[in-house]
A and B are shown apart, each in its own frame.
Chain A
Amino acid sequence: MAVVSMTVNGKPVSHEVEDRTLLVYFLRETLGLTGTHIGCDTSQCGACVVHVNGRAVKSCTLFAGQAAGADVLTIEGLAKDGQLHPVQEAFRENHGLQCGFCTPGMIMTAVDMIRREPDLTREKIRSELEGNICRCTGYHNIVSAIEDAAGRMARGAA
């Protein structure tokens, strides 16, 4: 057991947990932030993607202790003042989800990819989605949503 402290969605948190606690369980079970999902046992599906110090990582493949002292952003921290994030808005408008299970991970991955690669082509978006699996949509509208969001964010920043 150890006390693990970090900042989650802008708020400092501190809890005593077993050393074997994966970050995804720290978020879901210790903090009750169940927007981050678990979709596999093999680190392949990306339903659990969150940002640690500004970079997308699979929270099922990192112990909470490794994130001690870090700044963590989950899907719950994306909307600001009741305003959806442009990527969330674009997923809604482009019908980028069906059951929604993969969506939190897709959106966190999308926000990270737009930050790194402002000039996204559809082909580039597909290759960047390598680590996120969706069993419903066939990806087409997810790609459209990310393309749309990247465009909105570029215009918003200009």
Chain B
Amino acid sequence: MIPYGFSYRRAQSLNEAVALLQKSPEAKLLAGGQTLVTTMKARLANPAELIDIGQIRELSFIRGDNSAITIGAATTHASVAESATVKSAIPALAILAHQIGDPAVRHMGTLGGSVANNDPAADYPAAVLALGATITTTARSIAADDFFTGMFATALAEDEIISEIRFPVPEKAGYAKFPNPASRYAMTGVFVARTKDGVRVAVTGAGPCVFRVAEMEAALAANFAPAAVENIRIDPTDLNSDIHGSAEYRANLVTVMAKRAVVQALGSS
């Protein structure tokens, strides 16, 4: 479990990180390392240089007002889970962060790293998509609907750094996941959010990339209750199938988790 050699640089500010990245386009960003270090140990990644942005103070914050919560990219999962601001404005987001991995992983892993990585079984992408969040980078702002482009793929350019993510405060929201019993990643996780503009339902873990379910959104907009989704069947054709569960099993989990997410949303009004 010893990675290939590389050189390590710690950036003290976002500007310094941008400058370092421009100087060495081959370099990779390191935030919490809970994905990247593991991948490097397995020698599945071999960057020549790492630029550590995990300790940049200006990237670690949680700010809230009545309309939105904005979270810095280097904010750890533990900070989000423990934040009084998040717990009171979007409790489902704190619940989601608390369910990621284990305490040690949550002490290191960051929001920006999780979203940039876009693992098909990661939790945060479901919240970002369902809440209609905006991802701000060093170059621009990207709407959640345009951000997640495929399996481990995003709209980010090579030299683009996520600086913060803005989550609009919903009227009600809930997140339910069926964790893989070994890794805790989502076998299937469903985030449901109701705002004055309607309902959004985002599913992670079930397919190659987080996706929305229009039929559930319409049903919940008409009647925001578990019964509205319980008979909606998801087509398993494009879903994931592996030793942990078949596509059909995951399709069923989407319906079950959606129902539970609505129950949670109604409980935390």
Contact = CB atoms under 8 A, between A and B. Distances in A.
A60 B108 CA distance: 12
B208 to A, nearest CB: 22
A39 to B, nearest CB: 11
Given A20-B4, A41-B1, A41-B42, A66 B52 contact: yes
Interface in A27-56: 38, 41-44, 46, 49, 55-56
Interface string A47-77: 0010000011110111101101000000000
Contact of A49 (B54, B55, B78, B104): B104
A131 interface: yes
B105 A65 contact: no
Contacts of A22: 1-2, 37, 41
A109 interface: yes
A113 interface: yes
B105 A131 contact: yes
Contacts of A38: 1
B173 to A, nearest CB: 22
Contacts of A55: 78, 107
Contacts, number: 89
Nearest to A19: B8
B212 interface: no
Given A20-B3, A62-B108, A112 B8 contact: no
B33 A56 contact: no
B6 A43 contact: no
B102 A131 contact: yes
A57 B104 contact: yes
Contact of A131 (B1, B52, B103): B103
A109 B5 contact: no
A131 B38 CA distance: 15
A125 to B, nearest CB: 11
Looking at A2, A41, A58, A131, which has the most chain B CB atoms within 10 Å of its CB? A58
B7 interface: yes
B8 A109 contact: no
A18 interface: yes
B117 interface: no
Nearest to A58: B104
A57 B107 contact: yes
Contacts of B3: 20
A65 B2 contact: no
Interface in A1-38: 2, 18-20, 22, 25, 38
Contact of A61 (B10, B33, B182): B33
A38 B2 CA distance: 12
Nearest to B40: A20
- Residue among B5, B103, B107 having the largest count of chain A Cβ atoms under 10 Å: B103
A89 interface: no
A63 B37 contact: yes
A130 interface: yes
22 contacts: A20-B5, A25-B2, A41-B41, A41-B42, A42-B42, A43-B34, A44-B183, A46-B102, A55-B78, A60-B41, A61-B33, A61-B34, A61-B38, A61-B108, A62-B33, A62-B37, A63-B33, A68-B10, A109-B104, A130-B101, A130-B103, A131-B103
Interface of A: 2, 18-20, 22, 25, 38, 41-44, 46, 49, 55-58, 60-63, 65-66, 68, 109, 112-113, 116, 128, 130-132
Interface of B: 1-8, 10, 30, 33-34, 37-38, 41-42, 50, 52, 54-55, 78, 101-105, 107-108, 182-184
Q: 7 nearest interchain CB pairs?
A: A131-B102, A130-B102, A19-B8, A55-B107, A65-B8, A41-B1, A58-B104
